[in-house]
Amino acid sequence: MRRILLIASIIICSAVFVRAQDAPYRVVFDLTSRDTLNQRAVMRWVKEVTESNPHAQVEVVMYGKGFELVMPDRSGYIDQVQKALMNSNVSFKVCEVALRSNNVQKSEILKNVGTVPDGIYEIVKKQHEGWAYIKVAW
């Protein structure tokens, strides 16, 4: 009887493990800081996620002062952002409210970077769609 329970337990655990491996890998990063440690961290995480799973979907949502990551005149990570954007599963989105609040024009950010009307709403929407949420803070 014990042997049957052990075998059944192993089968159930294996099925759960296999199912977890098939789950979509979608993560939204929340960047609000202009701090270079946070910018470096999010770029490292984007790279690590996409290298560990080529099918992973990654979105970096920037509001507050986080959008400086994608401003060529203010960011030390522009080359890394441009390289990440070559992956069709990676996107960077800037909050339009943050741009207006900081008197920044869309033309001041990288061309392949998108905007969203409200960064917080974008994150809430992604979570509702089942995306994992990571707050970038170092």
pLDDT in tens, 63-115: 999 999 999 999 999 999 999 999 999 999 999 999 999 999 999 999 999 99
CA distance 108 to 53: 32
The DSSP code sequence of 66-82 is GGGGG-TTT-S-HHHHH
pLDDT in tens, 16-59: 554 555 678 999 999 999 999 999 999 999 999 999 999 999 99
Main-chain phi, psi angles of 114, to 5 degrees = -90, 170
Q: What is the pTM (predicted TM-score) of this model?
A: 0.84
Taken in order of first residue, the domains within the chain and their CATH numbers are: 24-135 (3.40.1260.10)
CA distance 10 to 39: 43
* Strands, sheet with 57-62, edge to edge from the N-terminal-most edge strand: 114-116, 90-95, 57-62, 26-31, 132-135
Q: pLDDT value at position 18?
A: 47
